[in-house]
Amino acid sequence: MTASDFWAEGEPVVDKAAPDGPVETRWERRKFSAKLVNPANRRKLTVIVVGTGLAGGSAAATLAEAGYKVKSYCYQDSPRRAHSIAAQGGINAAKNYRNDGDSVYRLFYDTVKGGDFRARESNVYRLAQVSVNIIDQCVAQGVPFAREYGGLLDNRSFGGTQVSRTFYARGQTGQQLLLGAYQALERQIGLGNVEMNTRHEMLELIIVDGKARGIVVRDMITGEITTEFADAVVLASGGYGNVFFLSTNAKGCNVTATWRAHRKGALFANPCYTQIHPTCIPESGSHQSKLTLMSESLRNDGRVWVPKDAKDCQKPAGEIAEEDRDYYLERIYPSFGNLVPRDIASRAAKNVCDEGRGVGPGGLGVYLDFADAIKRLGRKAVEAKYGNLFEMYERITGEDPYETPMRIYPAVHYTMGGLWVDYDLQSTIPGLFVIGEANFSDHGANRLGASALMQGLADGYFVLPNTISNYLAAGPFPAVSAGDAPVVEARKQVEDRIAKFLSIDGDRTVDSFHRELGQIMWEYCGMERSEEGLTKAIGLIRALKEEFWTRVKVPGKGEELNQNLEKAGRVADFIELGELMCIDALHRRESCGGHFRAESQTPDGEALRHDDEFSYAAAWEYFGADGKPVLHKEDLNFEYVHPSTRSYK
C-alpha cells in the first residue's frame, strides 16, 4: 500500500506546549509558565463548553467558579444525562490508600504500558498526578463512594492491575461522579455564572481571524439556528463509538462536534484506535438498537466456551457433554485463561464465531458459564458477587444465568482517538480546546479500565482551567457579530445541509444507512483488520455515502422537534469519519493496543507491534470530502517507560 492511493503525508506535528526536563515537575512548571488572567478581567471573557459529561460538566463548573462567563450546551434535556452517567466500574487514582505499592509513577507506568506505547509520556504522568486530587474533590462534593466499616474509602483492583486503586460507587460510579459535577454546574447556573442550553446541538464551528470564536447551534425543540460567540471554545462532546451503530454508547453519542471542527482544520488523531469490550450481551435480532455492557469482573468466575463441533451449536448448552466443549481461552492461554486482556478475549470470541461455532441468535455469541463457580462457591456466594449483573442479564435476555450459561459477545465500548491536542489540551485551531473522550490525548492505543472517568475529570477540573488561562490572557478578543463573513458562512453551511437532508426525500431511512455503515466498520475495521478488508471497506463506505446523499428520507420540517433530522446529520458525519478510520487503520501496518492487523503477527499468531516504523500518533488533516487526508506524524519518545512486548501465553 503506498501512501498516494488513499492519503498524502505532510509535515510532522509537534507539541510545543509540553515542557521538557524531569517528567515529575513538568506539570508544575507548565502551570508556572502559563499566563494568568487577572480575576477582574475574567468576567469579560466568555468560554463556550459543548458537552456536560464528566469532562464538560466539571470544566464548565470550574471555569464559572474561577469567574469566567460560561455558555454550556448539551443535546439531552438535562446536563445530568450525559453518557458519562452510564459508566459502571470505577475510577482510578494513585492514592495508595491500600499501601500496596501504588504510586503516581506506577499509575503512569501502567497507563503508558497499557496504551501499548502509543501515548505521550508527559500527558500520562500529569494524569496520574492529578488523579489524587479528583478523589478529594469528589468526596468534598458528597459523592457516596463505597466505604469500609472504618469509614474510609474502599478500593478494588480492576482490569487485571496488581494494585487496588479503583474507587467505586457500587455499579454506578459514573452516575455518582457525574451527579457531583452536575450539581456543581447547577449551582453555577443558579448563580447566573453559566448560561445552560439543553436540547441544543452544535452543528458548526465558527473561526474568525484564525481563532475559534463560536459555534452554530440548533435549538432541537424549535429548530431555530443561532450563532453563539465566545473568546474560546471547549469541545467535551464524548466518543464516537456509535460509528459502529451497535455499541455500548448511548443512542445520541455522536462525532458531529469534533468532526465539524476537523472539517474546519483541527487535526483528528488515531481515529482507528477503538476499544472493544468482551463481555456484552449479544444481539437478539434485527431490531437490536444498542448493546449492553456487563462488568468484566464476571470473567473472574465464569468460564468461556463454545462447542467443539459447529453441529452442536443449535443444541441447548446443557446437552453438550463436557468433552465436547472447547474452553478456548483456557486452551490457548493456559496461564491467564479466562482473564486475558480485553482485546485478546474479544478477538478470540470473534474467531470462534467466524469458524461457525458461535451460539445463540445468528451464531454471534459465546458461553460464559458459572456452573463450576456455583458448584465450588455455592449459589449464595455467586449471588452475592454478581446478583445484580445476573438480574440485568435476565431482564434483557429472559434467560436465567444460574440455570443456563450466559451468552456474551464483544462490542465497541470506547474510542481512544479524537481531536489532536497539545499538552495544554488545545487543538491545532487556536482557541479550540478539546477534553475528555473527545480528544486523543492519554490512552494511546488502548485504555485501562477505570481510566476514562479519571481522564474526563482530570481534564475538566484541573488541567483545562489552568491551561486555558494562558490563551485567554491575550483576550478579550475583538467582538464578533452575526454579520461577519465567517459567521454568515458557517450559518449558511448548517442551513444548506439541513435543507439538503429534507429535500432528498428518498426511499431509505437514516437508521438503515447507519446500520449498514456499522456492519462495514465491524467487519473490516473492528478487532482484526487487513489490507484487503480495509481497502474493500473504503470502497463500500464511499458507495454508501453516495447512496446516502441520494436516497435518504428525512421526514418532517427543520423548524420543529425532528429526531430524524438530528440523526441524519450525525450519520452523515459518521460516514465520513468511518472512511478516515479505515484509512488510518490501513496506514498502520502493525498490531497494537486494542487492534490486530492480520499482516502483523508473530509465528504463533500474537500481535506484533512495529516500534521502528509506527511509534507516533497519526494526526490527520481534512482535505475536502473527496480529497485525500494528509497525515501529520507526532513522534513519541519514551524516556521513562521503555517499550516492551506483552505476552499472555
Partner 1 sequence: MDIKVRVWRQAGPSAAGKMVTYDVKGISPDASFLEMIDVLNETLILNGDDPIAFDHDCREGICGMCSMVINGVAHGPEKATTTCQLHMRKFKDGDVIDVEPWRAAAFPVIKDLVVDRTPLDKIIQAGGYITAPTGTAPDAHATPVPKKDADAAFEAATCIGCGACVAACPNGSSMLFTAAKIAHLGLMPQGQPERDSRVIDMLQAQDDAGFGGCTNAGECTTVCPKGIPMSLIGRLNSDYRKAISKR
Kindly tell me which residue out of 101, 151, 316, 624 binds partner 1, with binding defined by CB under 8 A: 151
| Phi, psi for 16 (deg, rounded to 5) | -85, -10
Q: Which of residues 167-226 bind partner 1 (CB under 8 A)?
A: 169-170, 172, 175-176, 179, 182-184, 186-187, 189-190, 196, 198, 221
Closest contact distance (angstroms) between CB of 211 and partner 1 is: 26
**Alpha helix positions (H), 37-120:** 39-42, 54-66, 104-114
Stretch that binds partner 1, among 319-327, 441-449, 521-529, 551-559 (CB under 8 A): 551-559
Q: Which does 100 bind (CB under 5 to 8 A by kind): partner 1, ligand FAD, none?
A: none
Closest contact distance (angstroms) between CB of 87 and ligand FAD is: 3
Stretch that binds partner 1, among 1-9, 114-122, 149-157, 375-383 (CB under 8 A): 149-157
Q: Which does 170 bind (CB under 5 to 8 A by kind): partner 1, ligand FAD, none?
A: partner 1
Kindly tell me which residue out of 96, 254, 346, 467 binds ligand FAD, with binding defined by CB under 6 A: 254
**Which residue in this structure is represented by grid cell 442550553?**
197
Residue type at position 484 = D
CA 151 to chain centre: 34
532 touches partner 1 by CB under 8 A: no
Q: Which of residues 340-369 bind ligand FAD (CB under 6 A)?
A: none
- Supply the DSSP symbol for 154: P
310 touches ligand FAD by CB under 6 A: no
Burial of 608 from C-beta contacts in 10 A (0-12 / 13-18 / 19+): middle
How far is the CA of 603 from the CAs of 541, 600, 608, in angstroms? 33, 10, 10
Closest contact distance (angstroms) between CB of 170 and partner 1 is: 6
Residue type at position 200 = H
444: left (phi over 0), alpha (psi -120 to 50) or beta: left
Q: Which of residues 202-221 bind ligand FAD (CB under 6 A)?
A: 202
Q: Which of residues 78-97 bind ligand FAD (CB under 6 A)?
A: 82-84, 86-91
- Supply the DSSP symbol for 630: E
Q: Which is nearer to partner 1, 431 or 460 (CB)?
A: 460
Q: Which of residues 448-507 bind partner 1 (CB under 8 A)?
A: 461-462, 465, 507
| Phi, psi for 407 (deg, rounded to 5) | -110, 135
Catalytic residue among 342, 357, 407, 529: 342
Catalytic residue status for 342: yes
CA distance 340 to 324: 23
259 touches ligand FAD by CB under 6 A: no
CA distance 458 to 464: 8
CA distance 78 to 288: 26
Q: Which does 534 bind (CB under 5 to 8 A by kind): ligand FAD, partner 1, none?
A: none
CA distance 137 to 153: 14
Q: Per DSSP, what are the bridge partners of residue 207?
A: 212
Closest contact distance (angstroms) between CB of 141 and partner 1 is: 5
Q: Which does 530 bind (CB under 5 to 8 A by kind): ligand FAD, partner 1, none?
A: none
Kindly tell me which residue out of 26, 49, 56, 58 binds partner 1, with binding defined by CB under 8 A: 58
Stretch that binds partner 1, among 39-47, 56-64, 265-273, 607-615 (CB under 8 A): 56-64
DSSP SS3 for 336: coil
Task: Please state, as a whole number, how many other Cβ atoms lie within 10 Å of the Cβ of residue 3.
Answer: 12
Closest contact distance (angstroms) between CB of 56 and ligand FAD is: 6
351 touches partner 1 by CB under 8 A: no
Q: Which of residues 489-548 bind ligand FAD (CB under 6 A)?
A: none
* DSSP states along 354-388: HTT---SGGG--EEEE-HHHHHHH-HHHHHHHHHH
Which helix (H) or strand (E) element contains residue 72? Answer: strand 69-73
76 touches ligand FAD by CB under 6 A: yes
Q: Which does 54 bind (CB under 5 to 8 A by kind): ligand FAD, partner 1, none?
A: ligand FAD
Kindly tell me which residue out of 17, 18, 34, 139 binds partner 1, with binding defined by CB under 8 A: 139
Closest contact distance (angstroms) between CB of 504 and partner 1 is: 13
Q: Which does 382 bind (CB under 5 to 8 A by kind): ligand FAD, partner 1, none?
A: none
Closest contact distance (angstroms) between CB of 392 and partner 1 is: 8
Helix crossing, 510-525 with 531-551: angle to 10°?
170
Cis peptide before 12 (omega within 30 of 0): no
CA distance 197 to 181: 16
566 touches ligand FAD by CB under 6 A: no
Closest contact distance (angstroms) between CB of 474 and partner 1 is: 24
Backbone CA torsion sign across 322, 323, 329, 335: positive
Three cell numbers, residue 614: 509506527
404 touches partner 1 by CB under 8 A: no
Which residue in 600, 594, 536, 648 sits closest to 347, CA to CA?
Answer: 594
201 touches ligand FAD by CB under 6 A: yes
Closest contact distance (angstroms) between CB of 341 and ligand FAD is: 16
Burial of 410 from C-beta contacts in 10 A (0-12 / 13-18 / 19+): buried
Active site residues: 342
Q: Which residues lie near ligand FAD (CB under 6 A)?
A: 50-56, 73-76, 82-84, 86-91, 173-174, 201-202, 236-239, 248-249, 253-254, 256-257, 293, 413-414, 436-438, 450-453, 456
